[in-house]
Amino acid sequence: MIRLTPASAHGLHGHVTVPGDKAISHRALMFGAIAKGQTVITNFLASDDVLHTMTVFRNLGVTIQQNENSVRIQGQGFDGLTAPKKPLDMGNSGTSTRLLMGLLSKQNFDMPIIGDESLSQRPMTRVMKPLTEMGAKIDLTANGTLPGVIQANATLRGITYDMPVASAQVKSAILLAGIQAEGETRVIEKIASRDHTERMLRQFGGQLESKNGVITLKKQQQLQGQQVDVPADISSAAFFLVAALITPNSELTINRVGINPTRDGILKILTRMGASIEVTPIDTQGEPLADLTVRTQTLHGIDITAADIPSAVDELPIIALAATQADGDTIISGAEELRVKETDRIATVISELSKLGANIEEKPDGMIIHGGQSLTADNDAVLLDSCGDHRIAMMNAIAALITTGDVILTGEDAMSVSYPGFLEDLSEVML
């Protein structure tokens, strides 16, 4: 439990380098483990979720050395993994679970998989369904949740899968199984989801075709170890972008942020709300990077629809906070996926921000945020709960900057899932 005070009258200033991208750090570990030879990852995100992925591969016999934010992996190829001596513990990581269900679905030994209480309530059926069509043998609970077993399996076959909803995790699970499957695997997307898996597969020497919403690949003979420089995570940068926009007299620069066009929804949405964000591109061989500079500005309400969600799903809690300070209403729809994150993020965002006087209506697939609301702590202090969700914890911390009165935040340790050191970095720009 910690006490947070409002920002001073002079606002937030300086430069921030947020940690490496969580989604890319996960994938770099996975590809490095199944590639031949050495993979070196720099600016690696050593957060709880990603460290669980690392531990899983160590339990599968992969040699991995970590020195702070640098990781060295000695990959042994698709067939180099060994049977684990204990269940694979995914912790709170939905990304690890769903992607590894695909990647590990063609091994000659059983792999029990477990997760923490929160992860064990999150649905896995939408991943298991296409993988089962490919010949994978995955046993889950009757509710389609962990604990489960990825069973020994000798053969996978390619399928054509029409994605019912946009999901990078489901798509990636299919592709990671597809690189080991006989025949051709095709994934059809009506709305494009983030493409980190496709980009990284190519970086490791794999081949695939992506055209007009159809991704096609065949069995890959061998991937080769690579040097991977992980960009700063745009979903972590989002908290500082919004903080600078809504805290009076602020100007911040966030360094070396990944601006992959399938992940930059936060930039597009904030721009539509009236923000002017200075984007300074950085020359790079990997994922596109830029420095982002933002100043305090007046925002206005907009409609955020299903087409916006895939590229901004992780940022919707902090976007909701921004919307409370905008002129007019912001309507978020088509965001049912928020119901099955670490928390029901629709309900949790509303419950926490409402404690500060925000006026938000709940919808089955989103929310209506009535803007122009001053945030206030009753009796000079209000208790906000992180609810075990890292993005809710950080949203609450940013809300505290503009709240009249103090915020008492519980469960702040949840931030370590994606951003260890968040509060320290926030304090630095408040000086």
CA distances from 223 to 19, 186, 197 (A): 27, 20, 14
- Tally of CB atoms within 10 A around 410: 15
Catalytically annotated residue among 21, 264, 308, 314: 314
Cross-strand bridge partners of residue 63: 74
The pair of structure tokens assigned to 143 is: 């509710």
* Backbone φ, ψ for residue 390 (5° rounding): -60, -35
Beta strands in 52-146 (DSSP E): 63-67, 70-76, 88-89, 111-114, 138-139
Three-state secondary structure call for residue 350: helix
Determine contact, residues 93/390, Cβ cutoff 8 Å. Answer: no
Number of H helices, E strands in the chain: 12, 23
Sheet holding 214-218: strands in order across? 160-162, 184-188, 214-218, 208-211
d(CA 281, CA 290): 4
What strands, in cross-sheet order, belong to the sheet with 289-295?
13-16, 251-258, 289-295, 278-282
- Told to judge if 314 belongs to the known catalytic residues of this protein, a careful annotator would answer yes
- 8-state DSSP, 327: B
Quote the CA–CA distance of 100 and 405 in Å, as a whole number.
Answer: 45
List of residues 6+ apart from 199 with CB closer than 8 A: 260, 286, 287
Of the candidates 254, 251, 244, 264, the residue with the CA atom closest to the CA atom of residue 291: 254
303: exposed, middle or buried (Cβ count in 10 Å: 0-12, 13-18, 19+): exposed
Catalytic residues: 314
